[in-house]
Amino acid sequence: MIEQTLVLIKPDGVKRGLIGELVKRFENRGLKIVGLKMIWIDATFAKKHYTEDISKRRGEHVRNYLVNFLQESPVVAIVIQGVNAVENVRKIVGGTEPRAAQPGTIRGDFAHVSYSYADKKEMVVRNVVHASGNQEDAKYEIDLWFKPKEIYDYKTAHEEHIF
């Protein structure tokens, strides 16, 4: 099934100059970038992305950390398309908690902080990227971050050779 999903390169990934490396990882797997932009958001927008659902799961303080963190610098928003895109992107990204992320994943290679350490230090877990958790989240997040005219339909060289 061809799907679309959202990836955000968070402020720590942008500040560390990882944009090209991260885009390359998705493209090397045959996933297609159909939307891409850099944007500096405000608290109102960040709260639309990090909905109250995160408060229920991890606590309001964690949501506040995330909202503040997302405003530290521009973020890069990417719409990625491909077969089972949500699942495949989540595999490339790795587990949300960097400490548990497998080597070879983005979070496993570029982050290492645990939830307990971040909670003790009263800070956000800097895990480089956000990736939609499921198809419903992907739809909501893509609609939040992108206008329809900012998402492009085109054939990659791979698609032209295969189809």
Integer distance in angstroms from the first to the last C-alpha of the chain? 15
Catalytic, 130? Answer: yes
C-beta of residue 22 within 8 angstroms of C-beta of residue 109:
no
CA dihedral 94, 95, 99, 103 (to 10 degrees): -20
C-beta of residue 22 within 8 angstroms of C-beta of residue 104:
no
Catalytic, out of 49, 61, 112, 130? 130
Q: How many CB atoms lie within 10 A of CB 131?
A: 26
Q: Catalytic amino acids?
A: 130
